[in-house]
């Protein structure tokens, strides 16, 4: 049988799974053409966005503005000029949401405005979004048959410079874009040590540590360039690494502009506004949620889809998986982002205080009540988002009151007679199985269906081990910075122990382990011998109860049959099926899609 077309077929499959809509910013900053330069500059500074799409009154894109274009006008006291004066000066391309991401790689445009069939704005794509997509695609391509042919096709389509090295640091793939930039013929580069070819490279260190780096600065030909370095794993070992060169140097003008805007805001904002700004800057966005595993990408995709819809969302997952980060990200992408994000941990508030905590109280409502009363969390979250964490811990009598708020959109303070309207968005989270709690009678069924319009499951860390190297890299850097310590590195052997460990405490436990090592370890390189004894001894048991080891050990046809049989046995109940198989629901959904099972 002739397999000469197999790589092309695989590429088409990859294209179908890497669409523009999955990687674009679905909530770009927008402004009208009549906005002044100063107004737009303030808006961009407050939102921390790198660009703004200029739209017509019916939300059709007509142009794009970046700080580079704004800066000359601001420096020449022309801040009152309308942005319409310089539309057309920033290069961009308009594309459709279902365009394969591979099709836009080849373009050297920095910006891609995404529109729907009616020419209305849907999102914005930049080179960083494209690079993240390409990084993920390369990781997936490396796990397929015909890897070499597929990588050849993908790399030559890429506008970015891409180099791939094996476990010895020898260059095995080197695309034309990289070759042109550094002035070295690709055929000369392939087969040589990466340090000989690429100036100031650290790809050989990426192989040694197994830690990915995104957005690092590397000087090449005297220019400060942005690079990504990603390890390639196979069978628990680092077998190579991918280096990606982003053709954008550091923009000093943007730094000047940013500093100028910070100075301007500091002079103009009131103390209250400064506090709100600080509160906003502490929030997370989806781009800051670390991980490229299928389950993480699915959760992020769901979050993007529901963010702009005014519906209640339930985020489920074990403690320490990052549910609040997803809630903050949804808030930041939503129409409520200009309001506050208010958190209530329903399990941490004493039962006799939770009503006044949520709804506030009037003066004299009870002994010790403050003069003038006190607003509750729902009032503080007006025009914003209230996040009800661990809602499964809420007492039944309060569940009844919360149900009324969801239905009537109003409440009364404790001791008050006046109804207060609420327009806050509600996001709930739980580490319990609320469906089981409903059956046990400890959670109201009507409330369950009210808050569970859309569920976003966040998988435990042990089911998304691909995310662990990125998380270790991030926390090593951030925690070293926090404690003003020299940045530590980790050997691939030690990192493998992190990957094998089952992390019952999820990301929170992983962060604590890293902080312990940063604070107590004097050496700059973390080795296997430095890890806590329990982490070395308590490796994940690969023969746990359930079918999951069988699923991993057998071929795809047997895996499909096992899932099909379990679905039939449980009458199509996916929750019971996942539990019987010993896998998370997110993992089950992915496999159902993969095998076209319903």
- Over residues 449-475, mean pLDDT: 90
| pLDDT beyond 90 at 506 | yes
Highest-scoring range by mean pLDDT, 218-222, 261-265, 270-274, 429-433:
429-433
Mean pLDDT of 563-575: 80
pLDDT band at 281 (very low <50, low <70, confident <90, very high): very low
For the segment 197-203, the average pLDDT, to the nearest whole number, is 89
Q: What is the pLDDT of residue 545?
A: 36
* Domains with residue ranges and CATH for the chain: 6-131 (3.10.580.10), 160-268 (3.30.450.20), 286-457 (3.40.50.300), 461-537 (1.10.8.60), 548-594 (1.10.10)
Q: Using the 8-state DSSP alphabet, how is residue 25 labeled?
A: B
Q: By mean pLDDT, which of 158-162, 264-268, 291-295 is the weakest?
A: 264-268
Beta carbons of 378 and 424 less than 8 angstroms apart: yes
- Please report which residue ranges of 317-392 form alpha helices under DSSP H: 323-333, 354-359, 377-380
pLDDT at 570: 80
pLDDT of residue 389: 94
Tell me the pLDDT band of 454, cut-offs 50, 70 and 90: very high
Q: How many angstroms separate the CA atoms of 148 and 346, rounded?
A: 53
pLDDT at 293: 83
Per-residue confidence (pLDDT) for residue 89, from 0 to 100 = 65
3-class DSSP state of 217 = strand
Q: What is the pLDDT of residue 555?
A: 52
Segment 463-498, tens digit of pLDDT: 988 889 889 988 888 898 888 888 888 888 888 889
pLDDT of residue 22: 80
pLDDT score, position 349: 87
Question: How many whole angstroms separate alpha carbon 511 and alpha carbon 514?
Answer: 5
User: What span, in angstroms and rounded, lies between the C-alpha atoms of 567 and 444?
Assistant: 27
The yes-or-no verdict on residue 446 having pLDDT over 90 is: yes
Instruction: Check residue 279 and give its pLDDT.
Output: 45
From 215-224, 249-258, 356-365, 484-493, the region with the lowest mean pLDDT: 249-258
The listed range with the strongest mean pLDDT (101-115, 203-217, 538-552) is 203-217
Listing DSSP states for 556-577 in one string gives HHHHHHHHHHHHHHTTT-HHHH
Torsion sign (Cα): 55, 61, 63, 66: positive
Residue 283 predicted with pLDDT over 70: no
Q: What is the pLDDT of residue 186?
A: 84
Q: What is the mean pLDDT of residues 101-128?
A: 81
Higher pLDDT, 107 or 560: 560
Looking at residue 27, its pLDDT comes to 82
Q: Which residue has the higher pLDDT, 572 or 379?
A: 379
**Contact predicate 427/329, CB 8 Å:** no
User: Which residues have a Cβ under 8 Å from the Cβ of 275 and sit 6 or more positions away?
Assistant: none
* Percentage, residues of the chain above pLDDT 90: 23
Which pTM does this prediction carry?
A: 0.54
Sign (positive or negative) of CA dihedral 265, 266, 267, 268: positive
Average pLDDT over residues 364-378: 80
What is the SS3 assignment for 64? strand
Cβ-based burial of 157 (10 A; exposed 0-12, middle 13-18, buried ≥19): middle
Tens digit of each residue's pLDDT (9 = 90 or more) over 67-106: 777 777 776 777 787 877 766 666 788 888 888 777 776 6
Average pLDDT, integer, range 103-121:
81
Mean pLDDT in residue range 293-316? 89
∠ Cα 59 97 105 (to 5°): 120
pLDDT for res 147: 47
Q: Which of 230-239, 331-340, 379-388, 412-421 has the lowest mean pLDDT?
A: 230-239
Percent of the chain with pLDDT over 70: 78
Put residue 249 in one of left, alpha, beta given phi > 0 → left and psi -120 to 50 → alpha: beta
Task: Identify the residue with better confidence: 317 or 487.
Answer: 317
Q: What pLDDT score does 284 carry?
A: 64
The rounded mean pLDDT for the chain is: 78
pLDDT of residue 458: 94
CA–CA distance, 41 with 37 (Å, rounded to integer): 6
Strands (E), 493-564: 525-526
């Amino acid at each position: 049988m002739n397999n000469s077309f197999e790589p092309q077929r695989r590429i088409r499959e990859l294209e179908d799974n890497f669409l523009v809509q999955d990687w674009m910013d679905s909530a770009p900053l927008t402004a009208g053409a009549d906005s002044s330069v100063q107004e737009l500059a303030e808006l961009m500074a407050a939102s921390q966005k790198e660009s703004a799409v200029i739209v017509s009154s019916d939300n059709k894109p007509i142009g794009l503005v970046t700080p580079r274009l704004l800066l000359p006008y601001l420096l020449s006291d022309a801040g009152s000029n309308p942005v319409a004066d310089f539309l057309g000066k920033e290069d961009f391309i308009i594309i459709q949401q279902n365009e394969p991401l591979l099709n836009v790689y080849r373009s050297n445009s920095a910006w891609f405005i995404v529109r729907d069939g009616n020419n209305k704005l849907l999102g914005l794509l930049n080179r960083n979004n494209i690079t993240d997509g390409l990084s993920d695609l390369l990781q997936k391509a490396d796990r397929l048959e015909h890897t070499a042919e597929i990588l050849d096709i993908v790399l030559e389509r890429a506008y970015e410079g891409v180099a791939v090295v094996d476990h010895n640091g020898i260059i095995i793939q080197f695309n034309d874009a990289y070759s042109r930039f550094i002035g070295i013929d690709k055929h000369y580069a392939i087969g040589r040590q990466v340090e000989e070819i690429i100036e100031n490279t650290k790809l050989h260190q990426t192989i040694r540590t197994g830690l990915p780096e995104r957005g690092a600065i590397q000087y090449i030909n005297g220019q400060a360039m942005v690079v990504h370095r990603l390890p390639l794993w196979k069978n628990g070992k680092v077998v190579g690494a991918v280096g990606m060169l982003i053709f954008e140097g550091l923009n000093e003008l943007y730094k000047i502009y940013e500093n100028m805007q910070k100075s301007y805001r500091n002079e103009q904002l009131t103390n209250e506004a400064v506090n709100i700004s600080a509160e906003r800057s502490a929030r997370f966005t989806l781009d800051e949620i670390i991980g490229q595993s299928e389950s993480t990408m699915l959760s992020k995709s769901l979050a993007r889809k529901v963010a702009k819809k005014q519906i209640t969302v339930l985020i489920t997952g074990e403690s320490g998986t990052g549910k609040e980060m997803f809630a903050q990200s949804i808030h930041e992408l939503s129409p409520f982002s200009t309001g506050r994000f208010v958190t209530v941990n329903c399990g941490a508030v004493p039962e006799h205080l939770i009503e006044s905590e949520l709804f506030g109280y009037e003066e004299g409502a009870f002994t010790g009540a403050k003069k003038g009363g006190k607003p509750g969390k729902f009032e503080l979250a007006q025009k914003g988002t209230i996040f009800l964490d661990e809602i499964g811990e809420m007492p039944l009598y309060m569940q009844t009151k919360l149900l009324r708020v969801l239905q009537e959109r109003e409440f009364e303070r404790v001791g008050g007679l006046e109804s207060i309207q609420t327009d806050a968005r509600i996001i709930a989270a739980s580490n319990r199985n609320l469906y089981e709690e409903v059956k046990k009678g400890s959670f109201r069924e009507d409330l369950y269906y009210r808050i569970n319009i859309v569920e976003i499951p966040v998988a435990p860390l042990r089911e998304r081990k691909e995310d662990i190297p990125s998380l270790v890299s991030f926390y090593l850097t951030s925690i070293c910075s926090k404690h003003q310590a020299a940045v530590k590195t980790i050997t691939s052997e030690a990192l493998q122990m992190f990957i094998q460990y089952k992390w019952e405490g999820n990301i929170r436990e992983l962060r604590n382990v890293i902080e312990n090592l940063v604070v107590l370890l004097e050496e700059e390189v973390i080795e296997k011998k430095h890890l806590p004894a329990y982490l070395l001894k308590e490796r994940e048991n690969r023969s746990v109860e359930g079918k999951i080891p069988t699923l991993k050990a057998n071929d795809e046809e047997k895996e499909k049959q096992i899932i099909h049989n379990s679905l039939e046995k449980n009458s199509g109940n996916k929750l019971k099926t996942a539990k019987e198989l010993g896998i998370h629901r997110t993992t089950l959904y992915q496999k159902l899609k993969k095998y076209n099972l319903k």
